Chains A and B, each alone.
Chain A
């Protein structure tokens, strides 16, 4: 099974049926998998804080939701995370491409990579980092943990992970 299929299968097996996305090169495959999965409603959003609003609504409407986005989005979602997702105790798995790590070709991406874990730590967001392919074996447990504690949870996925090195 491809890594993209494995990730989406874990999501579906944990009851996730609503996914919103803002694309990133690294996430193209997993977004396509979500789009094509018959049990997932995929609603692309224009900005990640908007996506968090969609996810909060879908969750209140009875659908477990998730967001797929790039780490640069942490810069535009801090308020939505604090005052909507955390404040109202809404579970939200965030599958995040961790741009700016080893293998990154674009210098500017490094600037947000430097802040990524610090921002997540500052916001008390449980954070997991997938670097090797085998790290993804934890996804099922991470999703169960997210829906147990009703918090946003970050899953950082770097270039090495996506290349399968």
Chain B
């Protein structure tokens, strides 16, 4: 499975969840597959999906799923100790690890070579790290949502991209509808 297939398999599980999605193709794919006001698309700022997600989880009660990539986590590796040391049990970080910088042409990342992001996350102090095969991701996500425990999921998948349109929605609209939906959920 490639990333877009993983995202497609996740839609029934995450469609009604609050999701922060990584810059580039992951956001474009999620937007094309299942645009929801509960999705926050990052149109820029490589590396900060996990940080935005953690800030969201710490600030309120709804569950927050941050979808990130191996390249983006490597860019912001300092995020993992911050996550480990500020436990939010309403937070799930899903790292879709295809071993490549997908949005820029599938150049290889070190996560596809010797570096294990699951082991890095564990070494940083994350208590609940699950590495899974691409085809198991939806079930692992379902279990993580049911567990009420902060979870880091590292989904190992193949690299590869499908053609997807750019997101043309205004960024302030993306932010505003996300915030309003979240505020309504929190009552």
Q: Mark A residues whose CB is within 8 Å of B.
A: 18, 41, 43-47, 49-63, 65, 79-80, 82-84, 87-90
Given A43-B82, A43-B86, A88-B171, are A57 and B55 neighbors across the interface (CB < 8 Å)?
Answer: yes
Task: For B172, give its contact among A18, A61, A88 (CB under 8 Å).
Answer: A88
B47 at the interface (CB under 8 A from A): yes
What are 29 contact pairs spanning A and B, CB under 8 A?
Answer: A44-B82, A45-B51, A45-B78, A46-B81, A50-B76, A52-B51, A53-B48, A53-B49, A53-B55, A53-B79, A57-B53, A58-B55, A58-B59, A60-B178, A61-B55, A61-B58, A61-B60, A61-B182, A62-B59, A62-B182, A63-B59, A63-B60, A82-B44, A83-B44, A84-B45, A87-B43, A87-B44, A88-B174, A89-B172
Closest to A49 in B: B48
B54 at the interface (CB under 8 A from A): yes
Decide if B45 touches A83 in the complex (CB within 8 Å).
yes
Task: For A54, give its contact among B51, B171, B179 (CB under 8 Å).
Answer: B51
A95→B143 CA distance, assembly (Å): 41
Task: For A58, give its contact among B20, B56, B79 (CB under 8 Å).
Answer: B56
Chain B interface, DSSP helix/strand/loop, else mixed: helix
Closest to B50 in A: A53
**Interface residues on chain B, number (Cβ under 8 Å):** 35
Interface residues of B in 142-187 (CB under 8 A from A): 171-172, 174-175, 178-179, 182-183, 186
B52 at the interface (CB under 8 A from A): yes
Which residues of B are found within 8 Å of A44, using beta-carbon distances? 82
Q: Mark B residues whose CB is within 8 Å of A.
A: 20, 40, 42-45, 47-60, 76, 78-79, 81-82, 86, 171-172, 174-175, 178-179, 182-183, 186
The 9 closest A-B pairs by CB, nearest first: A57-B55, A53-B51, A61-B59, A83-B44, A46-B78, A53-B48, A54-B55, A57-B56, A57-B52
Which residues of A are found within 8 Å of B79, using beta-carbon distances? 46, 50, 53
Which residues of A are found within 8 Å of B59, using beta-carbon distances? 18, 41, 57-63
Decide if B54 touches A57 in the complex (CB within 8 Å).
yes
Closest chain A CB from B148 CB (angstroms): 18
Closest to A87 in B: B171
